[in-house]
Amino acid sequence: MKARTVPDAPATLRPDAVGFRDTLVIGLAATSPAYSLAAVLGPIVALVGVHAPGVLLVSFLPMLLIAGAFAALNRVDPDCGTTFSWVTRALGPWAGWIAGWAIAMTGVLVLGSLAEVGVRFTLLAAGLGGWAESGPVVTASSALLVVVMAAICVRGTELSSRLQNGLIVAQTVALLVFAVVALVRGLGGTSPLGGLQPEWAWLDPFGAGGPALTGGLLLGVFAYWGWESAVNLTEETRDRRRAPGRAGVWSTVVLLVTYLGVATAVLAFAGTGFLADHADEEEAVLGLLSTQVLGGWDWVVLAAVATSAIASTQTTIIPASRTGLSMARRAALPRRFASVSPAHRTPDIATWWVAGVGVAWYLGVGLVSENALYDSITGLSLLIALYYALTGLACAFHFRRRLLRSVRDLLLLGVGPLLGAGLLAWLLVLSVRDLADAGNSYTGQAWLGVGPPLVIGVGVLAAGVVLMLLWRRRDARFWTERATVAPDGQW
């Protein structure tokens, strides 16, 4: 069989494959709302008590500001590589390459874990609790799920969006039922856990203060992470200069409403004691409370977490694969990663590489211990804060000559992105401080004298620097690019 070659002028992704609604759904699905709530709400309550809604509200602020930066930059450069392309153009190739690496590796680090949650909760919802406790069954099924989701991504963006539309509806309905029943029972005094009456003071994030607030904010930022998948579809979206950016912004707003609603309902039903007591149990909030709230209908909530994680398994592949494609187009990665499937017009080789490395990481780290796998997810906070902050800086720097033209430009293109970048840089520093303590890790053991999540996060960035230097030595074309800016804000 003749070997396949990548043409000098690679095919483009399929234009106009999806619309605003599809990209909005994918942005929401990538954050995995039900799974995120299940994973972080208990620990946040353990830190700040009834002020958990307030922490989720404040965590939304940097996300909204950075989403605004994504929308502004997408209008002038609708590139599927998003942050990689924008940071390269505004701040230069060195910062751009590291930003692209951070995006790709967040997908790799979390892919297998998301698939595992999807598999476990699917089995629990189906009443197969014994299988859910079987390590070989769960591990093999999780790896297979990643392969299936990658195949769907390669088959076409239209197929991916149709699947996501169904999954997000199922997830949203289940969360709504859970939240409404929990709130009604809490307000009616029929909760077996003795709930609380909601108060406006719950929205005050500073009620707990100190280290508790900063720890809660770190968890809150993780809960919102992922909405930018909507913008990675820019080359495949109708009205590509505006629709993807709007979808990213609206994704964060919908998430805010969802998180505040569910957090308030859970506190009204269960109070703080139950949540704090089970904060160390993965997915405790929805997994354990589902039976208390819905009785025999607890499978509805279990299915919500399952569909949430399965949907996010697929959508997490999108930004990593398209970032790889964009980097290869500009010779920042080997040319083969720029391959586009002639039949489906999707980044086939980049997608399979993301899935393959993600499965390898999941299986390899899982052999160390399950706790080490959770620590690798915790290490994501470093990479997330880094590339979001770089995007905010790139926005303000690129539009710097427009900032004094109007108050609107000053606020939306300068102050907002810089404030978002500053908040995330602050959280990045706090992450390094907190993750250095081995006591804050799942393993509870020090690696190289510090916590495993910090070793993993810094190690991944260090590996990126080494690969970058090696590739530059082999092919330096990408590093001939220079940061550019134009008076009208166009590249």
pLDDT at residue 284, rounded to an integer: 55
How far from 169 is each of 51, 174, 176, 244, CA to CA, in Å?
Answer: 29, 9, 11, 20
What are the beta bridge partners of residue 450?
447
Tokens found for residue 149? 């989701």
Tokens found for residue 135? 């390590």
Other beta carbons within 10 Å of 58: 20
Query: What does the alpha-carbon distance between residue 204 and residue 52 come to, in Å, rounded to a whole number?
Result: 9
pLDDT at residue 431, rounded to an integer: 80
Query: What does the alpha-carbon distance between residue 66 and residue 226 come to, in Å, rounded to a whole number?
Result: 12
pLDDT at residue 232, rounded to an integer: 93
Radius of gyration of the chain (CA): 22
Query: What does the alpha-carbon distance between residue 309 and residue 35 come to, in Å, rounded to a whole number?
Result: 6
Query: What does the alpha-carbon distance between residue 292 and residue 266 come to, in Å, rounded to a whole number?
Result: 11
Element (H, E) at 383: helix 380-398
Tokens found for residue 90? 């505004």
Q: Report how far Cα 428 is from the mean position of its chain's Cα atoms.
A: 16
Tokens found for residue 382? 């470093």
What are the beta bridge partners of residue 237?
18
The amino acid present at 294, given as its one-letter code, is L
Query: What does the alpha-carbon distance between residue 359 and residue 255 come to, in Å, rounded to a whole number?
Result: 28
Contact 319, 358 (CB under 8 A): no
Contact 97, 478 (CB under 8 A): yes
pLDDT at residue 56, rounded to an integer: 94
Contact 270, 292 (CB under 8 A): yes
How far from 47 is each of 170, 221, 241, 467, CA to CA, in Å?
Answer: 31, 15, 41, 39
Element (H, E) at 218: helix 210-224
pLDDT at residue 3, rounded to an integer: 38
* Greatest Cα pair distance in the chain: 71
Query: What does the alpha-carbon distance between residue 170 and residue 163 come to, in Å, rounded to a whole number?
Result: 11
In degrees, rounded to 5, the angle at the alpha carbon of residue 34 between the alpha carbons of residues 32 and 40 is 90
The single-letter DSSP state of residue 332 is: S
Match 């590589």 to its residue by tokens.
81
270 CB-near residues (< 8 Å, 6+ apart): 182, 186, 191, 193, 195, 289, 292
Helix intervals (H) in 134-193: 135-155, 157-188
3-state secondary structure of 450: strand
pLDDT at residue 281, rounded to an integer: 64
End-to-end CA separation in angstroms for the chain = 43
**Nearest of 57, 27, 412, 14 to residue 245 by alpha carbon:** 27
3-state secondary structure of 481: coil
pLDDT in 10s for each residue of the chain, 491 residues: 333 434 444 568 889 888 999 999 999 888 888 888 887 888 888 888 899 999 999 999 999 999 999 999 999 999 999 999 999 999 999 999 999 999 999 988 889 988 998 999 899 888 888 898 898 999 999 999 999 999 999 988 787 778 888 888 888 888 888 899 999 999 988 888 888 899 999 999 887 766 677 778 878 888 898 899 999 999 999 999 999 999 999 999 999 999 999 999 999 998 888 877 776 665 556 777 887 888 777 788 888 888 888 988 988 999 999 999 999 999 999 999 999 999 889 999 999 999 999 999 999 988 877 667 777 777 787 888 899 999 999 999 999 989 999 999 999 999 999 999 999 999 888 888 877 887 766 667 788 888 888 888 899 999 999 999 999 999 999 999 887 655 555 55
The amino acid present at 248, given as its one-letter code, is G
Query: What does the alpha-carbon distance between residue 350 and residue 369 come to, in Å, rounded to a whole number?
Result: 28
Helix intervals (H) in 233-347: 243-270, 273-277, 284-294, 299-329
Element (H, E) at 422: helix 416-435
pLDDT at residue 45, rounded to an integer: 86
CA atoms within 13 A on the CB side of 178: 35
pLDDT at residue 4, rounded to an integer: 41
Query: What does the alpha-carbon distance between residue 381 and residue 221 come to, in Å, rounded to a whole number?
Result: 8
CA atoms within 13 A on the CB side of 379: 29
The single-letter DSSP state of residue 295 is: G
Contact 410, 417 (CB under 8 A): no
Query: What does the alpha-carbon distance between residue 297 and residue 176 come to, in Å, rounded to a whole number?
Result: 14
Other beta carbons within 10 Å of 322: 31
Match 């930059």 to its residue by tokens.
73
